Structure 1
Amino acid sequence: MSPFEVQHLRDATPGCQSGIVHFNHAGASLPSQATLDAIIDQLQREARDGPMEASEHGAVLVEKARRAAGQLLNAPASSIAFTSSGSTAWNLAFQALGPWKPGDRILVGRQEWGGNLASMALAEQAGARVDVIPCDETGAVCPAALESMLDANVKLIGLTWLPANGGLINPAQAIGVVARRHAIPYFIDAGQAVGQVPVDVQALQCDVLKSAGRKHLRGPRGTALLYVRPAFLQHLNPAQRDVLSAPWTSEGFDLRDDSRRFETSEASLALLAGLGNALQEMNRLGIGRVWERVAQTSARIRAALRQMPGVSLHDLGSAQSGLIAFNLAGWDGFELKRRLGLKHINIGANGIAYTPLDMQARGLASIARISVSPLNNDRDIELLMAALEALRD
C-alpha cells in the first residue's frame, strides 16, 4: 500500500484524527466513519420508524454482511452466523458438539486461548481430557507430533491460529490436513487472523472457525462471526434455540439447516450493519494488501525494538504476525501499557489468564503487546519508540 492509500484510510477514520497513537488493533481497532454512519443510520431508522418496523431494512444489511463475510473467508454465505462475541461463537459450537463422556480427548495447541480452555473445563467435568500438542523447534504447534497423538478417543482438535500473546502464526493448514485425513472435528480460533491475514476455510479444512468483529476487521464491539462447514452442521446440536434457530414446522420445532441455527431472533441490527460495512471495506481493500502492509510495519517495529537496550522480544515461530510481544526491563506489561496510555499511545498487555499454557511454559507473568494495522504510519512508529526510550531505566 502506498503512503497515499494509508493516508486515505486515516482520513476516513475518526480515531486517527484524535491525537492518539493506536497500536492496540489486536484488542480493538479503529472503525471508519462509514462504519459509524452505518450503525447510526440503522439506529435512526429504528427511532423514526419503530425498532421492529425498521428491522426489514436491517435484515437486508445483515444479509449483505453475511455475503461479505463469506467472500472474505471463501465460504458460502449460508455457512456464516453472527454472534455477540468471539467467545460466544466458539462456546456455542463447542457445546453443540457434545455430549462429552469419560475417555474423550481434546487436543489443543500450547497457545490455546484461555476462554476456550475455560469452556473445555465443562467437558473435563464429564470425564474428557485435554491434552497439549507439542511444539516444534520454533515454538509452533507441530503437525507431526499431533498425528502421533491420535487415537479413537480424540473427539476434537482445537487451534488458536494466531495467539493473543505474540506474533506466532501456527500452521493451521497443515493441521487441517491431519484432522481431515483422520476425520476428526477441527475448530480454529481465528480471532487475531480474520482481517489481518488471508483466511480460506476451504484450504484450512476446518469444521468451525470464529473471529470477533472488533479486532482487525475494524467492526463494532458486540459483533462476531462463526463459520461452520456445511457438511459438518449435522454434527452440531445447539442447546440455545428460539423461533429463528429452530422455527416451527408442521412436524414441530426443527433446527435450521444452515449456520443461523446458532443465531437468535434478537440481535443488534445496527451493530451488524456496522460490521457489514467493515467487512465490505476489507474486501474492497484486499486482505492480501492488508497483510503485506501489516507485515512490513511490524518488521520495522521489531527491528527497532531489537536495537533498544532493555527490550526483550517474545515472539515465536518462523514468521510473525502483526502482534509484537515484548517486555521492557523494570516494567510489568500492564503498567507499561498504562504509562504509555498517559502519553496517548495505546498498546495491549497480556497476562497468564489469556494464554495460560504458553505463558506458564515460558515463565512469563505478563507481556506488553504492540499490534499494528494499515492505519499505522511512520509518525506513529516514531512516537512509540520515543516514548519507550523515555521510559527505559
Structure 2
Amino acid sequence: MMDLDAIRAATPGLATGRIFLDSAGSSLPPRVVTDTMITHLRREAEVGGYRAANERSDDLAAVKTSIATLIGTTADTIALSDSASRAWADFAYSVPLAPGDRILLSGADYASNAIAALQRARQTGAVVERIPSDSTGRLDTAALAAMLDERVRLVSLQHAPTNGGLVNPVAEATRIAHGAGALVLLDACQSVGQLPIDVTELGVDAMSATGRKWLRGPRGTGFLYVRDELARTMEPARLDLRSARWVGHGEYRLVEDAGRFEFWECDVAARLALGAAVDYLLEVGPGRAYTTVAARAWQLRETLPELPGVTVRDLGTEHSGIVSFTVDGHDPERLRDQLADHGVTVTVSHAGSTLFDMSERALPAVLRASPHYFVSPDELDRFVATLAELTR
C-alpha cells in the first residue's frame, strides 16, 4: 500500500494547495531531489566544481546503476544526457545512412524526433516514412512488417505519445523490425517512471528518456540506453575526451561502453538529483507507482465524459497516465488558463508536437491532464467539478 500522506508531505510543491496535473510536462520533485541539487551547488560554491564533482564520483556512477535497476539492464549500457531529445538525437545521428536508406517513424512520434530524422534524410539522401496506425490508433504491426526491406536502417517507436494515453506495442514491433535487420530506437520520454519498462523484454536497440517528467527529476537531465553489444561497436556522431581517449598524434580510442555517447562537461548537481529521483521511485516501489498512476488516469477517463461537451481523445487499447480531452465550444488554451486561475494545473498539447496523429484526427490542440501517484482521488474530483463549473 502506498503511503500517500507521506509522499505528499515529501513534495513541497503540493503545499500551495494547487491540484497538479502536468507530470507529462514537468512534474513536482520530492524534497530529496531539490535538496540534493542545492546541496551540491553550495558545495561547488565552497570548493569549486572540479573538487565537488570528485567528492561525489561514486555517487555519480551510482546514478547509472539506479537507472539500470529501474529499466532492467546494467550500468554500462546507460549514457547520461541533458534531455530525452538530446539522447534520441545522439543515437539517431550516429546511425550510418546512405542515399535510398529508409527511416520509419511511428504515427505518434514527437516533433523533435521527426525534425531530426528529416534533417538526417536531407543530409544523407535517405527517406523518412510513416508507419500507419491501426483502427484503435496503435502502431499497425502488420503494416510495419509489410514496409520492411533491407533499406530500412532505423525504426523509431514512440512508447507513449505526448498528446494522449496511447501505449504502443513496442516488443512486437521490435521483433518485426529486427527480422529485417533494422535498428529500433524507442522514445520512452513519456513512459519511464509511469509504465513498467524492461529493456531486455522490449528488445530495443536504444531508448531515450527524460528526468523531468514521470521520474520527478530536475530539468536538464535525461539518459540514453544502448544495447550492450551495440554500445561497444557504434561510433557516435560527436566525440570529446569523455567519449574517447586521445592516444596518439593521429589516433583516438572510444570508451568501451555507452559512455561513448557522453560529453565530459555536464551539470553535476542535476545528475545527482536525477539519481535521487530514481532512488526515490525505487524506494516508493515502481509497481505501486505504476498501478497508482493507472488508477488516477482511469478515474479521469471515467468521470470526464460525464460532463456535457467533454470528449476524451485517448487512443489505443492500453493506456498511460496521460488523459487528453477537448470541450465543445471552449478554446484549450483559454480553458487551461481559467483552470490555472482556479488552482488547477493542466497543459495543452498542440498539433505541431505530434503532427502525423493530430492532423489525421483534425485536432489543432487538446487539453492534457497527467496525474502522478501523489495526486489524490479527491483532487481529481475537485478538478472535474471545477471544469464543470467553468464550462457550464
Instruction: Indicate the TM-score class for this superposition, using the shorter chain for normalisation.
Output: over 0.9
1:169 aligns with 2:167: yes
Contact 1:42 1:58 in 2 (8 A): no
Q: Secondary structure at the match of 1:27?
A: coil
Q: Secondary structure at the match of 1:331?
A: coil
1:12 matched to which residue of 2?
10
| Within-5 A mapping of 1:74-223 | 74-98=72-96, 100-125=97-122, 126-223=124-221
Matched pairs, number: 390
Q: Which amino acid aligns with 1:103?
A: G
Distance 1:59 1:280 in 2: 17
**Identity percentage of aligned residues:** 34
Q: Deviations over 1:115-172 (max 9, x none)?
A: 0000011122132111111212211002121111111111111111100010000001
1:293 aligns with 2:277: no
Contact 1:96 1:238 in 2 (8 A): yes
Q: Secondary structure at the match of 1:243?
A: coil
Contact 2:148 2:177 in 1 (8 A): no
Q: Secondary structure at the match of 1:52?
A: helix
2:36 matched to which residue of 1?
38
Q: Which amino acid aligns with 2:116?
A: S
Contact 1:134 1:145 in 2 (8 A): yes
Equivalent residue for 2:231, pick from 230, 233, 239? 233
Distance 1:148 1:127 in 2: 22
Distance 1:224 1:381 in 2: 29
Contact 1:210 1:226 in 2 (8 A): yes
Distance 2:303 2:343 in 1: 20
Q: Deviations over 1:2-37 (max 9, x none)?
A: 4xx111110001011122210000001110111111
Q: 1:234 and 1:53, CA in 2 relative to 1: closer, same or farther beyond 3 A?
A: closer
Contact 1:93 1:236 in 2 (8 A): no
Q: Secondary structure at the match of 1:167?
A: coil
Tell me how far 1:334 sits from its aligned partner.
2.1
| Within-5 A mapping of 1:59-70 | 59-70=57-68
Q: Secondary structure at the match of 1:298?
A: helix
Contact 2:150 2:180 in 1 (8 A): no
Gap runs ≥5 in structure 2: none
RMSD: 1.3
Gap runs ≥5 in structure 1: none
1:337 matched to which residue of 2?
336
Tell me how far 1:234 sits from its aligned partner.
4.6
Q: Secondary structure at the match of 1:335?
A: helix
Distance 2:285 2:179 in 1: 32
Distance 1:377 1:142 in 2: 36
Contact 1:59 1:269 in 2 (8 A): no
Moved more, 267-276 or 35-44: 35-44
Moved over 4 A (4+): none
Tell me how far 1:382 sits from its aligned partner.
2.2
Distance 2:333 2:192 in 1: 26
Q: Deviations over 1:173-212 (max 9, x none)?
A: 1111112333210000000110001110001110110111
Distance 1:156 1:41 in 2: 42
Q: Deviations over 1:316-349 (max 9, x none)?
A: 0112111001001122222221221122211121
Q: Which amino acid aligns with 2:175?
A: V
| Within-5 A mapping of 1:232-271 | 232-234=230-232, 236-249=234-247, 252-271=251-270
Q: Which amino acid aligns with 2:107?
A: R
Distance 2:133 2:184 in 1: 18
2:70 matched to which residue of 1?
72
Contact 2:163 2:368 in 1 (8 A): yes
Distance 2:82 2:174 in 1: 27
Contact 1:332 1:367 in 2 (8 A): no
Tell me how far 1:284 sits from its aligned partner.
1.7
Contact 1:93 1:208 in 2 (8 A): yes
- The TM-score normalised by the length of structure 1 is 0.96
Q: Secondary structure at the match of 1:96?
A: coil
Contact 2:149 2:180 in 1 (8 A): no
Distance 1:105 1:239 in 2: 19
2:25 matched to which residue of 1?
27
